[in-house]
Amino acid sequence: MSLETDLLIDRRRLKRGLALWRIVAVIAVLGAVALTLRDTGPARTLLGGHVARLSVTGLITENRERDQALRDLAKDDRARALIVAIDSPGGTVSGGEALYRALSEVAKTKPVVAVMGGTAASAGYMVALPAERIFAREATVTGSIGVIMQTTEFSGLLERLGIRAEAITGGRLKDQPSPFRPLTEEGRAALAAVVQDLHAQFIRMVSTGRNMPEPEVRVLADGRVLTGRQAVAARLVDAIGGEAEARAWLAAEKGVPTSLPVRDVGDPGERQWLSRLLRDARKAVSDERLSLDGLFALWHPSLH
């Protein structure tokens, strides 16, 4: 065998050994980083679990990405509990129902606590109902257990302007309500039946979520709003407080340490952090710009 062949074989063997030591080095670096950061940031979330937080603000509507994130959360053992932070005047009935059902699924697998901000009314109150414990500020505006359907009718103005609207429908109630003509008695009754059915669904949610008899809920379900203090007295809210009080309750009643970090639902920060770390690791393993002697001088134990 020629000297050149021997050198080629030795070089290949050296490269294989180098690749192995690169992998070992990367694993060591990942372990060191994880141990260093385990009490802070994303590494702590990965290693020690976390408390999830869902912020519900503004108008509540259907949101498929949010609902999928909650379905994923329900299966995530790293999330020890969920805090639902609400500051919303309400939204669509279907949007509130969708979020209510998604949160109810989470509540089957882990503790859920609701924390109300300045406003948590109507659908904003509805989405607090799956929570095992509801906190509100004394000045929180909440309640408004009701459903509203509004329409504007200006046929009188059109008549004075000499404007006449025509509608051809496939059913006598198809254009009820309409801005171009007054509601008929039949149309009003049909729409009222829809509103009452939606209202009854809301009342059942409150009755179930707050463990209150429906007649007791109906007394409060006339659309009135309440302050946080009034809501506590009416049993619609459990206690006065914010996120700190919610964390204290989770620690005392559910064994969820207050030292755990909070991670917002849908926050990609953890995944991005891990992806960057793994990408850098792959680059360190495969980057041929690292010289053979340089890597051996840094990592190879035989040179120490």
Question: What residues contact 90, with CB distance under 8 A and at least 6 apart?
Answer: 59, 60, 96, 121, 122, 123, 124, 125, 126, 144
Strands (E), the chain: 50-60, 79-91, 112-121, 133-136, 141-143, 225-227, 239-240, 262-264
Which of helix, strand or coil describes residue 97?
Answer: helix
Q: Which two tokens stand for residue 299?
A: 């990592």
Catalytic annotation, pick one of 88, 104, 110, 122: 122
Q: Which two tokens stand for residue 116?
A: 């109300």
Strand 50-60 with 262-264, pairing: parallel
Contact of 131 with 250, CB cutoff 8 Å: no
Strand 239-240 with 133-136, pairing: parallel
The question of whether 122 is a catalytic residue gets the answer yes
Q: Which two tokens stand for residue 6?
A: 């021997």
Instruction: Report CA Rg, the chain.
Output: 30
Catalytic annotation, pick one of 15, 174, 259, 283: 174
User: From CA 235, how far away is CA 212, in angstroms rounded?
Assistant: 8
User: From CA 165, how far away is CA 191, in angstroms rounded?
Assistant: 22
Contact of 46 with 78, CB cutoff 8 Å: yes
Residue 262 phi/psi, 5-degree rounding, is: -105, 130
Q: Which residues are catalytic?
A: 122, 174
